[in-house]
């Protein structure tokens, strides 16, 4: 491009009608009405292709599936793909975050309630299991489900029927359950936080979603998807990545996975002043990517969990009475900053309620109690 014209480009252009179906074809038909990440279905890297083949094998069955992976790796995308390739594809797909409800509300949300079942229940309401009848119910962050609800969920999976809160009558259901977690459930079972019988009931099929740093071949196709999606939403013309930007994207460890990549591309398009995204447009933290990359050397690099444990050992060597509070405050603060100071997103990232996060941030002096 002629440098003399790079700042003279019109930033707003009419979106050609032919461009929209190309975006829709990558995933969700309502990509502009929902999160752009919800349509970021990419299987380009060999590890992703192996996962896709496994999905194709298990999708036609009605077996329950446990999907594991770090936060932001696209576990819901995998669940949606399983649903699309199943015989339930034309039936509802309902996604529920088990950590989004208080313990007092989760039973009503999952299993429904009758009129008068509790204060404020002015009418009967079906739960998510009934809403997903004939289709698929995706239970995200299943590890956050309270033990009392785990017992009831186990019964629903065994009996294939639900009993609404405040009712004594059972309602038959035909639902395939896909569950996801970013924690090691077998450790939660060993610690007594998750029922062993429920774990085995959910873990009929196991799908592990690799972190983005372990499927480098997906990074540029995903970046291209986000560029096209956001430029259309913003009304921009064609935008490309230069070689430096490509190297920078492929060299980053992406601790926030697909969600972090989406944010980086979105920000880059907002600050870019021409039709070529360069290194300077990519706001990427100075994170040591090599610590997260697989290595062919005899000594493998530390995993995120190992790095955390090493840091804790250092802190424990100089422990004080406020150590736990300092660690907790650091976790809350970093999550808050990672989510661009959005309390709802930070709480969801940590798997806690917004009220708990807000209280910790106030205590740490990160936000004003009056705001």
Weakest mean pLDDT among 29-33, 98-102, 130-134, 241-245: 29-33
Residue 129 contacts residue 106 (beta carbons within 8 Å)? no
What tens digit of pLDDT does each residue of 35-91 get?
455 456 788 999 999 999 999 999 999 999 999 999 889 999 999 999 999 999 999
pLDDT band at 203 (very low <50, low <70, confident <90, very high): very high
Checking if the pLDDT of 17 tops 50, the result is no
pTM beyond 0.85: the answer is no
Architecture of the domain delimited by 295-363: Orthogonal Bundle (1.10)
Q: Which of 87, 129, 94 is nearest to 108 (CA)?
A: 129
Residue with the larger pLDDT of the pair 293 and 360:
360
**pLDDT value for 132:** 96
d(CA 313, CA 282): 34
> Domain 39-210 carries which CATH code?
3.40.50.300
Domain(s) of CATH 1.10.10: residues in the chain: 295-363
Tell me the average pLDDT across 154-183.
Answer: 94
Domain(s) of CATH 3.40.50.300: residues in the chain: 39-210
Angle CA 157–163–169, to nearest 5: 130
The percent of residues above 70 in pLDDT, for the chain, comes to: 80
Burial 221-252 (b: 16+ CB within 10 A, else e): bbbbbbbbbbbbeeebeebebeeebbebbeeb
**pLDDT value for 7:** 28
d(CA 258, CA 3): 33
């Amino acid at each position: 491009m002629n440098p003399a014209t790079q700042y003279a480009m019109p930033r707003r252009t009419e979106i050609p009608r032919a461009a929209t179906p190309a975006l829709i074809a990558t995933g969700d038909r309502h990509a502009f009405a929902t999160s752009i990440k919800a349509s970021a279905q990419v299987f380009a890297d060999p590890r992703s292709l192996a996962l896709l083949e496994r999905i194709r094998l298990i999708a036609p069955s009605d077996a329950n599936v446990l999907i594991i992976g770090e936060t932001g790796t696209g576990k819901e995308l995998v669940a949606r793909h399983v649903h699309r390739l199943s015989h339930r594809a034309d039936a509802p797909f309902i996604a529920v975050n088990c950590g989004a409800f208080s313990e007092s509300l989760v039973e009503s949300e999952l299993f429904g309630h009758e009129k008068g079942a509790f204060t404020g229940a002015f009418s009967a309401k079906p739960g998510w299991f009934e809403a997903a009848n004939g289709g698929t119910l995706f239970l995200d962050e299943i590890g956050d489900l309270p033990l009392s609800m785990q017992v009831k969920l186990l019964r629903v999976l065994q009996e294939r029927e639900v009993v609404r809160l405040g009712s004594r009558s059972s309602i038959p259901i035909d639902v395939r359950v896909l569950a996801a977690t970013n924690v090691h459930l077998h450790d939660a079972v060993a610690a007594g936080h998750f029922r062993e019988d429920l774990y085995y009931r959910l873990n009929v099929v196991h799908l592990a979603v690799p972190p983005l740093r372990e499927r480098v071949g997906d990074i540029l196709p995903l970046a291209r998807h986000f560029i096209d999606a956001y430029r259309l939403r913003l009304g921009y013309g064609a935008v490309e990545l230069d070689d430096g930007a490509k190297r920078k994207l492929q060299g980053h460890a992406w601790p926030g996975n697909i969600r972090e990549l989406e944010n980086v591309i979105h920000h880059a398009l907002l600050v870019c002043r021409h039709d070529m995204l360069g290194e300077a447009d990519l706001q990427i933290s100075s994170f040591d990517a090599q610590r997260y990359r697989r290595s062919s050397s005899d000594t493998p690099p530390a995993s995120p969990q190992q790095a955390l444990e090493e840091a804790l050992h250092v802190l424990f060597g100089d422990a004080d009475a406020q150590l736990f509070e300092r660690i907790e405050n650091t976790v809350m603060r970093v999550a808050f900053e990672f989510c661009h100071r959005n309390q709802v997103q930070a709480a969801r990232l940590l798997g806690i309620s917004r009220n708990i996060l807000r209280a910790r941030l106030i205590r740490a002096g990160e936000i004003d109690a009056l705001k």
